[in-house]
Amino acid sequence: MVIDRPEPLLLEEAATGGRGGVTLAARQARLGWLLVLPTLLVLVGVALYPLVDTFLNSLTNARLGSSRAVRFVGLANYKDLFSDPVFLQAVGNTLYFTVVSVAAELVLGLLMALVIHSRFPARGLMRAAVLVPWAIPTVVSAQMWRWMYNDVFGVLNDLLMRVGLLDAPVAWTASPGLAMNAVIAVDVWKTTPFMALLLLAGLQVIAGDLYEAATVDGASRIRQFFSITLPLLRPAMLVALIFRTLDALRVFDVVFVMTAGASGTETVATYNRRILVEFQQLGYGSAISMVIFLIIFLFVLLYVRVLGVSEE
Amino acid sequence: MSQRSWRRMQGWGAALAFLLAMALLSGAAAAQPEVQWPDLSGVSLTVAAGAVGQELQLTKEAAAAFSELTGAKVDVLETPDLATDRLGLYLQYLGARSPDIDVYQIDVIWPGILAEHAVDLSQYVPEEEIAQHFPAIIENNTVDGKLVGLPWFTDAGLLYYRTDLLEKYGYDGPPQTWQELTDMAKAIQEGERAAGNRSFWGFVWQGNRYEGLTCDALEWQASFGGGSIIEPDGTVSVNNAKTAEALNLARSWVGTISPPGVTTYAEEEARAIFQSGNAAFMRNWPYAYALAQGEDSAVAGKADVAPLPSGGAGSAATLGGWELMVSTYSRNQEAAAWLARYLASYEEQKRRAVIGSFNPTIEALYEDPEVLAASPFMGSLYDVFTHAVARPSTVSGDRYNEVSTAYFTAVHQVLTGEATAEQVLPRLDSELKRIMR
């Protein structure tokens, strides 16, 4: 995960042409464009085209699997969206899910990464073991947890009742206050290892002599963590946070399997599926997809602004 | 409760009546037109079918028999248990005009939604064969004069109860009213728990937020006299005191006589609890009967079915059931229609009724002694099946899913305590009016 940034000197040379004059710079620039052209074409094909297509659909009243004539309705779908209480609730639920799960994963992932990073026997085994939850497909782990949460047969109620923490079984995924947190717990269990792995990569590129120097200067372990480890981890953290946030904002599978969006767990993506698939409203559903896209876009901008690696 | 008169006769009378019935039936069986099955060697067909309980096994056996008969190769595609998910899958195939599936098993509420993807089966099936089925179902499956689906089996909500426990606690029969059910369930639950079964519950049903909840809740409200959500003339009638009363009663069950997790249960979750001997009562479809009496059931011989209790306006059972639709995108429509005909035929429906307790849609089968011997309730509860309450799918056409989702979401909010019935019903009323506009 180490990205070599070009040396400033080379950048300047390319920009001003260095010793080779303007023509060289132009040639280099053209070569650069040629080299990235295949990538750009693929991106346009797999990312831009569907996006534009979805946007165009969102301006119509199209229905899925229907031969009815499609009418252009302008921004009516978007207007309906912002007066749709279920949608607004779903946006709220999604943001709650995202903030809580990503924050929990960041903290736990960092702790996990620090543990694996330290030297102790059987460290390799530990690293492999940590990855198990991440290796299980989400649908499978969600189904597994659904059974564990079950009110009558679930192992969770059984354990808690044996220990005496509960005197009656709790329906974890049925009560509105609990269901979303039960889903978040599963998501955190599953994706914390991923977070830990990315942060571990970041930890491993921090030069050891920095810590040696800090120790010589008399900095405490805690001071070292906040003055050296955290600042230098920022690039890795940014990558991890962007990955996780984008995933969390689009969360679908874990919610769909565990609660299908009932009991206050409806997210934007599960609601979108319902509109598209169950109600066959392609136009309205596309408008929801566009809103998801915009929310994610805003989050990325925010991260890059706030955490952006400074360019000194 | 219409008991067949001949079942009440004694001794010789019964024997005589039985012989007479047999004679009549052999007549009825002989009246089954002999079908000349075509040679379909080299044709391969795929049928998308349900997998709830024994469904899939029965369909696979029937597919094999059809292959034997015609030489066609038949694949059975397993589809999700929840009707809501199944429709989503079908629409992906149909929306893409996929020829991969020839015959679809469709819900009784879908003809309006799927009509444009269906072949008109009246071109392929002789009139007298169509006329064997219940006219109400044929009418339900006919959209703008097109026969969208052949009836395969019909469903109505039933009350399952434990005969041994009713006897043990001194009750002389299943409950007649919801209040009686509530009291009985409570007494039995307390008794069984005191006797050491900590995970025993009084009443299990389908409380998950999906189509099944619409069926359960419609039964509660209709039996209280609260109407059927949207009346056949298009009037939205759901916002009334009777419906509120019914929903509040159901709310009172959650966590008392029903598990707190009942709001996450579909058919199979409820059956798992009842069949393992951990519930006194269950609301479910007929398919659970054969399974509850099966070899690996803890309640075999100790369970029976009755009409659902009344809330003051008589017992109500939601009409369910499944039809067979041939896709217009099939490359072998004629062969697919033959397959649908075979699956919906007298003999095949009889086999499914005997082995799997799937209710036939062919009227004559309700007098077939083998069917009645395997599933006696098909005779004793005949009226339940012929007077079942339909969901408002005809009146709402292709917007039915929106109507049903609005309804079951509102009911689910009441059950989980997010809102009271008095709060959700006015909201639901305006939402339904918006959808029906």
Q: Read off the pLDDT of residues A272-294 as tens digits, 9 standing for 90 and up.
A: 988 988 888 889 999 999 998 99
The one-letter code for the residue type at B301 is G
Query: Is residue B75 within 8 Å of B46, Cβ to Cβ?
Result: yes
Contact call for A176 and B416, based on CB within 8 A: yes
CB-based contact, A158 to chain B, within 8 Å: no
For B346-388, the pLDDT digits (tens) are: 999 999 999 988 999 998 999 999 999 988 888 888 888 888 8
Alpha helices per DSSP H over chain A: 8-16, 21-43, 49-57, 76-81, 85-117, 123-130, 132-135, 138-149, 155-163, 176-204, 208-216, 221-224, 230-249, 253-258, 268-273, 282-307
| Among B107, B99, B98, B45, residue whose Cα is nearest residue B79 | B107
| Among B180, B217, B216, B182, residue whose Cα is nearest residue B202 | B182
Phi/psi class of residue B308: alpha, beta or left (left: φ > 0; alpha: ψ in -120 to 50)? Answer: beta
| pLDDT at res. A130 | 83
Chain B contact residues (CB < 8 Å to A)? 82, 84, 87-88, 91-92, 94-95, 113, 116-117, 199, 201, 208-210, 259-264, 272-273, 278, 398-399, 401-402, 405, 412, 416-418
CB atoms within 10 A of CB B357: 25
For A162-182, the pLDDT digits (tens) are: 888 887 778 888 888 888 999
| pLDDT at res. B24 | 45
Within 8 A of B412 by CB-CB distance, chain A residues are 262-263
CB-based contact, A150 to chain B, within 8 Å: yes
Over residues A21-41, the mean pLDDT reads 88
Query: Is residue A191 within 8 Å of A105, Cβ to Cβ?
Result: yes
Contact call for A173 and B264, based on CB within 8 A: yes
Residues 225-254 of A with CB under 8 A from B: none
Helix/strand/coil (H, E, C) string of B31-60?
HCCCCCCCCCCCCEEEEEECCCCCHHHHHH
Q: Which residue has the tokens 């080379």?
A: A10
* Alpha-carbon span B365 to B352, nearest angstrom: 11
Chain A residue at shortest CA distance from B419: A176
Query: Is residue B71 within 8 Å of B40, Cβ to Cβ?
Result: yes
For A194-206, the pLDDT digits (tens) are: 899 889 888 888 8
CB-based contact, A202 to chain B, within 8 Å: no
| pLDDT at res. A241 | 87
pTM: 0.78
**Beta bridge partner(s), residue B150:** B324
Query: How far are the Cα atoms of A309, B4, B14 from residue B8, in angstroms, in the given order?
Result: 88, 7, 8
What parts of chain B have a pLDDT lower than 70?
1-33
Burial B51-67 (b: 16+ CB within 10 A, else e): bbbbbbebbbbbbebbb
For A185-233, the pLDDT digits (tens) are: 999 999 999 899 889 888 888 888 888 888 888 888 888 888 888 888 8
Contact call for A278 and B84, based on CB within 8 A: yes
Report chain A's mean pLDDT, rounded to a whole number. 84
| Among A105, A120, A121, residue whose Cα is nearest residue A193 | A105
Contact call for B401 and A264, based on CB within 8 A: no
Q: What confidence category does residue A311 fall into, taking pLDDT thresholds of 50, 70 and 90?
A: very low
The one-letter code for the residue type at B422 is E
Within 8 A of B95 by CB-CB distance, chain A residues are 64-65
For A118-157, the pLDDT digits (tens) are: 877 777 788 888 888 888 898 999 989 988 988 877 888 8
| Among B345, B334, B363, B338, residue whose Cα is nearest residue B33 | B345
| pLDDT reading at A19 higher than 80 | no
Contact call for A262 and B261, based on CB within 8 A: no
Within 8 A of A264 by CB-CB distance, chain B residues are 418
* Alpha-carbon span B419 to A148, nearest angstrom: 28
**Beta bridge partner(s), residue A9:** none
| Among A190, A187, A192, residue whose Cα is nearest residue A256 | A187
| pLDDT reading at A105 higher than 80 | yes
Strand B303-306 versus strand B158-162 pairing type: antiparallel
Closest by Cβ to B91, choosing from A64, A150, A259:
A64
| pLDDT at res. B11 | 45
Over residues A60-64, the mean pLDDT reads 83
What angle, rounded to 10 degrees, do the helices at B55-70 and B333-343 form? 120
| pLDDT at res. A235 | 83
Query: Is residue A121 within 8 Å of A154, Cβ to Cβ?
Result: no
User: CA torsion angle for A169, A172, A178, A180 (degrees, to 10)?
Assistant: 180
* Alpha-carbon span B114 to A67, nearest angstrom: 12
Within 8 A of B208 by CB-CB distance, chain A residues are 260, 262
Phi first, then psi: what are they for A63, rounded to 5°?
-115, 145
User: CA torsion angle for B281, B282, B286, B288 (degrees, to 10)?
Assistant: -100
* Alpha-carbon span B179 to A240, nearest angstrom: 57
Min Cα–Cα distance to chain A from B242, Å: 25
DSSP per-residue codes, A274-298: IIIIIS-BHHHHHHHHHHHHHHHHH
For B104, the 3-state DSSP assignment is strand
Picking from A93-97, A254-258, B254-258, B383-387, which range would have the lowest pLDDT averaged per residue? B383-387
